[in-house]
Amino acid sequence: MTLQNIISQLGEGMLKTILLFVSTLVIALPLGLIVSFGRMSKWAPFGGNFKPIRLLTQLYISIMRGTPLMLQIMVVYFGPYYLFGIKISTSYQIYAAIIAFAINYAAYFAEIYRGGIESIPVGQYEAAKILGFSKSQTFFRIILPQVMKRILPSITNEVITLVKDTSLAFVIAYAEMFTMAKRIAAKETSMIPFVAAGIFYYIFNLIVALVMNRIEKKMSYYR
């Protein structure tokens, strides 16, 4: 089999990898911000140090970061059947993969957001209040732009890791790039499909790194 034929067969896997990557970011980035708010919540309905929202988000983050992503994918995919007896179809593979990746990466993004938000001096909140800004205006117009600039390198690292982690979807037979490469390699008894897949992942990551670097330069205060 020629390299051209291998690449054409890997095309479907490429598209599914990109779909999983984009869908995860679209869900995980805003979800991570919401989780970070819960992580910093000071709501204590019974007084004292008992803050239920903070405790729940801490538990969520601990579980997501403390267990393998591969295990989480399997739980999301097979869980409905073993827990509720719901029949699983192959069409659920993409949804299970997106859900698992999104809730996993949201936990990492939440801690990155939290670190960025807590690094902003309290004086900026006080100055905005004096100027008549509401809490939402203060956050979205003053705080969040500074936070995004500070956390962009960390977000970039996670996004690059996500590109490579998409290969873990093979555990539920989701036919992304790595799964397709394995199938073709087994059929043709050749390493060429793995080399082609590796080149794809490298180029994909290179594009992501260049785009994120471009964004980082645009957000620089010292241009």
Q: Which residues contact 55 (CB under 8 A, 6 or more apart)?
A: none
Q: What was the pLDDT predicted at 1?
A: 59
Task: List all residues 6 or more positions away from 86 whose beta carbon is below 8 Å from its beta carbon.
Answer: 80
What does the pLDDT profile of the chain (223 residues) look like in tens digits? 566 777 777 887 888 899 999 999 999 999 999 999 999 998 888 777 888 999 999 999 999 999 999 999 999 999 998 888 888 888 889 999 999 999 999 999 999 999 999 998 888 888 988 988 888 889 888 888 889 888 999 999 999 999 999 989 988 878 788 888 888 888 878 888 888 888 888 998 999 999 988 888 887 755 4
pLDDT at 102: 97
List Cβ neighbours of 70 (8 Å cut-off, separation of 6 or more): 168, 171
Q: Which residues contact 144 (CB under 8 A, 6 or more apart)?
A: none
Give the number of other Cβ atoms within 10 Å of residue 73's Cβ: 24
**pTM for the whole thing?**
0.89
| Terminal-to-terminal C-alpha distance of the chain | 51
Alpha carbons 24 and 105: distance in angstroms, whole number: 8
Residues in the chain: 223
pLDDT at site 221:
58
**Which domains occur in the chain, in start order?**
3-218 (1.10.3720.10)
Count of C-beta atoms within a 10 Å radius of residue 210: 10
Round to whole Å and give the CA distance between 118 and 196. Answer: 43
Burial class (CB in 10 A: 0-12, 13-18, 19+), 84: exposed
What is the Cα 11 distance to its own chain's centre?
23
String of DSSP letters for 92-148: HHHHHHHHHHHHHHHHHHHHHHHHHHHTS-HHHHHHHHHTT--HHHIIIIIIHHHHH
The CA–CA distances, whole Å, from 54 to 50, 68, 116, 119 equal 9, 23, 17, 19
> Residue 65 to residues 1, 127, 157, 181, 205: CA-CA distances in angstroms?
42, 36, 16, 28, 23
